[in-house]
Amino acid sequence: MPHANALYGPLDPAPDAGYENPPPRMGFFTDTSVCIGCKACEVACKEWNGVPESGLDLLGMSYDNTGALTANSWRHVAFVEQPRSAGWATPAFEEQPDGPSVSPLTAAVGARTGTDTGTDPGLSPGSPAVAARMSGGPEFLGMPGAQPPGRGSGAEGRTDFRWLMMSDVCKHCTHAACLDVCPTGSLFRTEFGTVVVQEDICNGCGYCISACPYGVIDQRKDDGRAWKCTLCYDRLGVGMTPACAQACPTESIQYGELDELRERAAARVAKLHERGVPEARLYGHDPNDGVGGDGAFFLLLDEPEVYGLPPDPIVTTRDLPAMWKRAGLAAVTMAVATAIAFLGRRR
């Protein structure tokens, strides 16, 4: 019998997926407060998993030239430049003759850039107006600093500055919509509680892509199949660390038993709060959230949507029983309507 929480709520996914005495659930804790944006994770992942190139265009999204998680980028480092305090540091440009921040403007330009990632839908274009709000800083109001050298200092504008970097990855949800909607069983739950596409099975139906509440999984064009982070299932099997976590120079990506990672993360948040970084918060750590908690969760320094993450995702299959009920009702209605139409008075 399926578990009562098979579709929603806290659950240990491996036993639910039929594994008897599985190993502990493994996952990632990505601490963005120590990320240096080096992208070693992106490269190490590509090297291990043989992931193809994902486009050679300058995107103008700070140092992000990958753009998004795609079938050809299973790790993606996001870069956000913000005229805001970093919390722990003194204001970077205090007393400098700067004008107001340009972050919203450059973000707006970055929103429209594209590159052929070799995948579908790959990196979708964004909206400049929406992008302009991403920095969360003051709106751009004019150019008081724009005077030729030597002529006056202008009003001091931006003083605070911070540069957020965050390595995004598949969340390996407890309730993984991609997995549940997969009609071939290609997407499956491993004994480690992770979610993996089986490349010998996937027939590229694309359903998982629409089902993912994080926009992670994506289809490779010349290949037709869906691809995403496997949490290096092959490495896990022989007791190795996933390639990205092994490469990460600053332990921003930590791999381990999920329970232990959650404890570590809570301690880290507490420490950051203590050190004057009240914005530090965890994302995806809570087994009571809309996806039953993520196998890969994060410590963020701003709202999730600033990094391109949904603020409160709920797995679509939570509502599946209700959906089937509605469908059943509609089906009955349809049959009855047909019956009535035919049983009606002959004309």
Partner 1 sequence: MTDETPSNEPVGARFREFRAGLDRPDGKRHRRPRGRGGDGGEQLTVPPADFASYYGRPVLKPPVWKYDIAGYLFTGGLAAGSALIGAGAQLTGRPGLRRVGRWTALGGVAASTYLLVHDLGRPARFHHMLRVAKVTSPMSVGTWILAAFGPLAGVAAVAELAPLLPQHGVLGLARRIAPPIGNVAGLAAAATAPALATYTGVLLADTAVPSWHDAYPSLPFVFAGSALAAASGVGLIAAPTAETAPLRRLALAAAAIELGGGHRLERQGLTSEPYTHGRSGRLVKAGRALLAVGAATALVSGRSRVLSAISGAALVASSIATRFGVFEAGRVSARDPKYTVVPQRERLAENRSTTRL
Partner 2 sequence: MGVRSWFEGWPVYRQLTGTDPLGRGAAAKSDGSRSLTARTDTADSMARSVCPYCAVGCGQRVFVKDGQVSQIEGDPDSPISRGRLCPKGAASKSLVTSPLRQTTVRYRRPYGTEWEDLDLDTAMNMIADRVLAARDETWEDVDAEGRPLNRTLGFSSLGGATLDNEENYLIKKLFTATGALQIENQARI
Partner 3 sequence: MIVIQGSNMAEAHPVGFQWVMEAKRRGAKVFHVDPRFTRTSALADAYLPIRAGTDIALLGGVIRYILDNELDFREYVVAYTNAATIVTEDYRDTEDLHGLFSGFNEENASYDQTSWQYNGDESNGAKHDTETQRETAAGLEHESHGAQVNGQTQRDETLQHPRCVYQILKRHYARYTPEMVERVCGIPQDRFLELAQAWAANSGRERTSMLVYSVGWTQHSVGVQYIRTGAIIQLLLGNMGRPGGGVMALRGHASIQGSTDVPTLFNLLPGYLPMPHHADHPTFDEWVESIRHPGQKGFWGNARAYGVNLLKAYWGDAATAENDYCYGYMPRMTGDHGTYQQVLNMIDGKIKGYFLLGQNPAVGSAHGRAQRLGMANLDWLVVRDLFMIESATFWHNAPEAETGEIVPERCRTEVFFLPAASHVEKEGTFTQTQRLLQWREKAVEPPGDARSELWFFYHLGRIIRERLAQSTRPRDRALLDLNWNYPTHGPNAEPSAEAVLYEINGYDVASGRPLSSYTEMKDDGSTAGGCWIYTGVYADGVNQAARRKPGAEQSLVALEWGWAWPSNRRILYNRASADPEGRPWSERKKYVWWDPDKGEWTGYDVPDFEKNKAPTYRPPPNTSGVAGIAGDDPFILQGDGKGWLYAPSGVLDGPLPTHYEPVESPVRNPLYRQQANPTRKVYTHPINTLNPSPPQEHSDVFPYVFTVSRLTEHHTAGAMSRNVSPLAELQPEMFVEVSPELAALRGLSHLGWAHLVTSRAAVEAKVLVTDRVTPLRVDGRIIHQVWLPYHFGFEGLVTGDSANDLFGITLDPNVLIQESKVGTCDVRPGRRPRGQDLLDLVVDYRRRSGNLVHRYPPMVTTDVADSSSDQEA
Cα–Cα distance between 257 and 240 in angstroms, integer? 13
C-alpha atoms less than 13 angstroms from C-alpha of 289 in its C-beta half-sphere: 20
The single residue among 23, 145, 204, 290 that binds partner 3, judged by CB under 8 A, is 145
Q: How many CB atoms lie within 10 A of CB 47?
A: 11
The single residue among 131, 248, 253, 280 that binds partner 1, judged by CB under 8 A, is 131
The single residue among 1, 20, 21, 146 that binds partner 3, judged by CB under 8 A, is 146
What does the per-residue mask of binding to partner 2 show for 12-51, with x meaning CB under 8 A?
-xx-xxxxx-----------------xxx-xxx-xxx---
The single residue among 154, 206, 256, 287 that binds partner 1, judged by CB under 8 A, is 206
- Is 205 a binding residue for partner 2 by CB under 8 A? The answer is no
* Bond preceding residue 148 cis, omega within 30 of 0: no
Closest CA to 75 of 47, 37, 100, 39: 39
Cα–Cα distance between 205 and 141 in angstroms, integer? 48
CA 296 distance to own-chain centroid: 9
Q: For tokens 């791999």, what's the residue? A: 255
Number of residues that bind partner 1 (CB under 8 A): 110
Please, which of residues 64-83 interact with partner 3 by CB under 8 A? Answer: 65-66, 81, 83
Q: Which is nearer to partner 3, 135 or 317 (CB)?
A: 135
Taking the CA atoms of 27, 30, 36 and 37 in sequence, report the sign of the dihedral they define.
positive
Please, which of residues 14-73 interact with partner 1 by CB under 8 A? Answer: 55, 57, 61, 67-68
Cα–Cα distance between 107 and 152 in angstroms, integer? 29
DSSP label at residue 302: S
Three-class secondary structure of residue 339 per DSSP: helix
Please, which of residues 132-191 interact with partner 2 by CB under 8 A? Answer: 179-180, 185-191
What does the per-residue mask of binding to partner 3 show for 84-103, with x meaning CB under 8 A?
--x-xxx-xxxxxxxxxxxx
Q: Which residues bind to partner 3, rule: CB under 8 A? A: 34, 36-40, 42-43, 46-47, 53-58, 60, 62-63, 65-66, 81, 83, 86, 88-90, 92-103, 105-106, 109-110, 113, 143, 145-151, 153-154, 158, 161-163, 165, 249-251
